[in-house]
Amino acid sequence: MSAPAKALGEQGTVVALCGGVGGAKLAFGLSHLLGERLTVIVNTGDDFEHLGLHISPDIDTVLYTLSDRANRELGWGRKDESWNFMKALAEIGGEGWFQLGDRDLALHVERTRRMRAGDRLTDIVVDFARRFAIPSRILPMSDDAVRTSVVTRDEGVLPFQRYFVERRCQPVVEEVQFQGADSARMSAEVEAALSSADLRAVIVCPSNPYLSIDPLLSVPGISQLLADASAPVVAVSPIIGGQAVKGPTAKIMSELGIPATNATIADHYGDLIDGLMIDEADAAEIGQLAVRATISATLMRTDDDRCRLAEDVLAFAETLAETGSGRRP
């Protein structure tokens, strides 16, 4: 891995907005470079109750990825996993559509116990991250419940995990909804991170804009803080060559009747971002984007890729801060 860089000078803080697997890869690189200067605000729209447990899939992906506990073969869950619980559950007729590994289960059981005892999700996640020796701060987007659901053409409204895991993203999506968003409050920690006078950059990770980043932006106040931030807001596109690296981003774009291009991603984030980083394979698209853009190798296969992309995106943010972004003087 590359040595920690002196990205964005040696002081100041950076906030990353992140969903699950795609976002967590860049958050890993940012965390490696920035350590305690980084706060990762994570989507909780995918959270749900299952078997009596509170599950936070994106938060857990970030916790496992940043502490090198992620299962890279499966692409989700914990490494060195065993499945005795699932086998025993099947024996007694329990629901088997959502896999919970034996080690993974510990996080869900302890989180649920602490939430029932009245602890905030924020405090629980900050504590888990500390126990996993993650130097960066990981924050849920809100302590209030915001629940993503998908309005499908043929199967009605599906809660997110039923759509994503049980139905494997097959139903055609007509609309994405965020129940509870109107009354959700951002936590004091999220507000402080985004309004800090030390803030040097906000990085929108290459997560699914519709399913992972939009829920976060639906929490009242977060979009406004991004708009008011004195630091540049930079997104890394999750679309490469008209396709998603993984998951249903491009499929959903097509179902919503919009082209799976970087121009669509730029338009989607609109005035919320000052810059978009796209993949070198899409260099020809750069002139069509309604935002300052730059190219990089954005496909993250190795830890080095993650750190290099993190360096590139921080350097881009620094350039925007120095030269003025177009939107901000």
Pick from 20, 29, 77, 275 the residue near ligand GDP by CB under 6 A. Answer: 20
Task: Report the number of secondary-structure helices (H) and strands (E) in the chain.
Answer: 12, 14
- Measured distance CA(230)–CA(91) in Å, rounded: 56
Q: Which residues between 211 and 240 bind ligand GDP (CB under 6 A)?
A: 212, 236-238, 240
| Helix runs in the chain, H state only | 21-34, 57-66, 84-91, 102-116, 121-131, 160-161, 188-195, 214-217, 222-228, 249-255, 262-269, 303-323
Answer left, alpha or beta for residue 80, where phi above 0 means left and psi between -120 and 50 means alpha: left
Least distance (Å) between residue 104 CB and ligand GDP: 15
Least distance (Å) between residue 305 CB and ligand GDP: 7
Q: Which stretch binds ligand GDP (CB under 6 A): 95-103, 141-149, 204-212, 262-270?
A: 204-212
In terms of CB distance, is 236 or 321 closer to ligand GDP? 236
Least distance (Å) between residue 18 CB and ligand GDP: 6
Torsions phi, psi for 272 (to 5 deg): -70, -25
> Should residue 148 be labelled a site residue for ligand GDP when binding is judged by CB under 6 A?
no
Pick from 8, 15, 23, 148 the residue near ligand GDP by CB under 6 A. Answer: 23
In terms of CB distance, is 166 or 198 closer to ligand GDP? 166
CB closest to ligand GDP, residue no: 22
Least distance (Å) between residue 61 CB and ligand GDP: 6
Pick from 149, 161, 207, 218 the residue near ligand GDP by CB under 6 A. Answer: 207
Least distance (Å) between residue 185 CB and ligand GDP: 23
Strand order through the sheet with 147-152: 156-159, 147-152, 173-179
Closest CA to 27 of 278, 257, 306, 232: 306
In terms of CB distance, is 6 or 48 closer to ligand GDP? 48
Joined together, the tokens standing for residue 165 give 């895991």
Pick from 7, 19, 233, 274 the residue near ligand GDP by CB under 6 A. Answer: 19
In terms of CB distance, is 171 or 206 closer to ligand GDP? 206
In terms of CB distance, is 72 or 195 closer to ligand GDP? 72
Stretch 299-318: interaction string toward ligand GDP, x if CB under 6 A: xx------------------
In terms of CB distance, is 218 or 298 closer to ligand GDP? 298
Angle, nearest 10°, between helix axes 21-34 and 57-66? 40
Q: Indicate the DSSP class of residue 221.
A: T
User: How far is C-alpha 298 from the chain's CA centre?
Assistant: 16
> Should residue 244 be labelled a site residue for ligand GDP when binding is judged by CB under 6 A?
yes
In terms of CB distance, is 22 or 232 closer to ligand GDP? 22
User: How far is C-alpha 297 from the chain's CA centre?
Assistant: 19
Total chain residues near ligand GDP (CB under 6 A):
23
- Measured distance CA(177)–CA(148) in Å, rounded: 6
Three-state SS for 214?
helix
Strand partners, 41: 17, 139
- Measured distance CA(218)–CA(67) in Å, rounded: 28
Pick from 16, 21, 63, 66 the residue near ligand GDP by CB under 6 A. Answer: 21
Q: Which residues between 245 and 274 bind ligand GDP (CB under 6 A)?
A: 245-247, 249
Residues that bind ligand GDP (CB under 6 A): 19-23, 25, 58, 206-208, 212, 236-238, 240, 244-247, 249, 298-300
